[in-house]
Chains A and B, each alone.
Chain A
């Protein structure tokens, strides 16, 4: 098993005729993901690599039975695309788009949380369940089927840690990039909770970074509710306070949100935190061996 995406995923790609949308939809399909439809208003009847294009998400869902949507729409149209996906009834939405205004996401988030659909992202690399399905932009060659669940706010750091795991012969059940923005649809707690319920996930790797307090909240959640072992990594020890390091989310405000504070919060709850990606992989190996 795996979480969120697998062989039952039927994917509709919003913005499929754009350069990035077409490229990644095609790559996801080549990986074996069941990409059943694409959406671009005004382009119904066309196809991208054999994937039929529809005018609206609702048309695509009605005619193909799509249950998952991936949003590849430019930021100024992405909020509309997210609401459209939500109203189509798909269970899961993965939003890759970077640069959506924070106030827009605040409203989307509030609306989303009143229902039972799931949003991953925005500003995220997507989800891969190695050997089963890949939805997003991750370089598939660094992931192998296995029993470690990985959840991260950063795309490239996800690849780095997966590569370190691969060097030790360790693969993943599912890898989830939740996105680097201040407001994302799913938190560490949401994803760690899903991994904990997955019988094929033996260990969870949680990759955080400076800014916000989602890692601290996850630390409490892990201590109280999670029985699967968790290993963590936090990036940004060298980030000076008050300096923004790229991600809108990666900002330190006041005394909270520092890498040191997050590390301490996690370790206080018994979560081992690696000092670099190589050490994280080693901690995973040790923890799995001790089981």
Chain B
């Protein structure tokens, strides 16, 4: 089914990759800048601050965990509070909560809304069609893929020509075909246009409002905000760059972020360093086929110099779960002698004693192998091929004598 390819609701990425997921409150700030109505609210990092926020907002408020993952409500991360006392109590419970591996450091306290209807609206970057895809549904507050599967008559979609943009007629078509209530249609048409503007102006890969609500007062309001920014565009969005405050929990991922290394933590014990995303992914696969479990993905990137290799190794060696390191390099822009120098420097600096299996191929491979052979660190093994290197690393991780 076509919708599955877009997967609007489940686009979860790590923020140290090439996309930046904003928190709900940050998304709402961006929405507000484009005139999209959002409930008034404040961010709080302590229970006391949540109470103060509730006092300022007045009336019933909602205390919402700020994490970059879905399922907050089910996990108890969204609570209604009719008094400031209650808001403080809920914030105390929610702050520090672990929601599917994400620790809550902030709550968003906002005025409660009286909901008449819940809708869904989003703009996604559809890489298959190479066009933005605008989706609108009269069935909000639930999984949009489920809506597509069970109530397709309540979902309308439009692909937009990126050169001519999203027009009012697109918005009207969506509103009529998604079955939006007559009283809410004008408000939804306006919000769709504002949402598309936000999509292009902030270089987003996804903007999603779920639910988009129709209130008792007759307003259409964004009750949630999911915004994913294309990191390649951050140079022209200095304000968004500031939002990239690191809430990365994992110490290795945080270190990698600081060092500018593309790193994703996995749960095995074979640490992996390679160059180029494709080759690194292939290395993970080959390690798994050899019966091992990769501890991470780490792409040292193209043209890595010795310093960058040292930084990458620092990240890997800081992970106590790593029993063996596998370095798999195919030099194109990257030069193998630089990798070898970086490895030796890292061993000197960090004094690592765990076994390290190295495979160097491509540009300056002979020089690289020579540099390692001359120093011959006792814990470094050089293998000739990618397969043999992976097998050796897995054997070593399992404690089989080398």
Contact = CB atoms under 8 A, between A and B. Distances in A.
Nearest to B10: A254
A29 interface: no
Interface in B171-211: 200, 203, 205
Nearest to B298: A246
Interface in A127-157: 137-139, 141-142, 152-157
B10 A106 contact: no
A31 interface: no
A248 B286 CA distance: 22
A156 B276 contact: yes
Given A103-B162, A207-B278, A244-B14, A278 B127 contact: no
B227 interface: no
Given A102-B230, A111-B163, A159-B332, A245 B6 contact: no
Contact of A235 (B262, B285, B362): B285
Task: Please classify the interface of chain B as helix (H, G, I), strand (E, B), loop, or mixed, using the class held by over half of its residues.
Answer: mixed
7 contacts: A154-B276, A238-B284, A245-B277, A246-B277, A246-B280, A250-B277, A251-B13
A106 B125 contact: yes
B232 A101 contact: yes
Interface in B101-134: 125, 127-128, 130-132
8 residue pairs, one from A and one from B, having the closest CB atoms: A154-B278, A254-B7, A156-B276, A246-B277, A244-B17, A253-B7, A157-B278, A156-B279
A180 B277 contact: yes
Given A102-B203, A160-B386, 10 more contacts: A75-B235, A156-B274, A156-B330, A159-B330, A159-B362, A209-B277, A212-B127, A251-B19, A256-B5, A276-B386
A103 B203 contact: yes
A137 B332 contact: yes
A257 B162 contact: no
Contacts of A213: 5, 128
Interface of B: 4-7, 10-14, 17-19, 125, 127-128, 130-132, 145, 161-163, 200, 203, 205, 230, 232-233, 235-236, 262, 264, 266, 274-282, 284-289, 294, 297, 299, 302, 330-333, 361-363, 385-387
Contacts of B275: 156
Contacts of B330: 156, 159-160, 163
Contacts of B302: 98, 137, 155
Interface in A220-266: 233, 235-240, 242-251, 253-257, 259
Contacts of A111: 163
A210 interface: yes
B127 A156 contact: no
B299 A139 contact: no
A102 B205 contact: yes
Contact of B281 (A155, A212, A245, A255): A245
Interface in A74-105: 75-76, 98-103
B248 to A, nearest CB: 13
Interface-centre pick from A163, A244, A251, A277 (highest chain B CB count, 10 A): A244
Given A238-B288, A254-B7, A139 B279 contact: no
Contact of A139 (B203, B264, B362): B362
Contacts of B281: 209-210, 235-236, 238-239, 245, 250
Contacts of B362: 139, 141-142, 159, 163
A31 to B, nearest CB: 14
Contacts of B288: 237-238
A21 interface: no
Interface residues of A, number: 66
Given A160-B330, A238-B284, A243-B13, A154 B277 contact: yes
Nearest to B199: A103
B130 A109 contact: yes
Nearest to A152: B278
B11 A253 contact: yes
Contacts of B387: 276, 278
A48 interface: no
B143 to A, nearest CB: 11
B19 to A, nearest CB: 7
A60 interface: no
Contacts of B287: 238
B283 to A, nearest CB: 9
B361 A163 contact: yes
Contacts of B386: 160, 276-278
Contacts of B6: 253-254
Contacts of A242: 10, 12-14
Contacts of A275: 285, 289
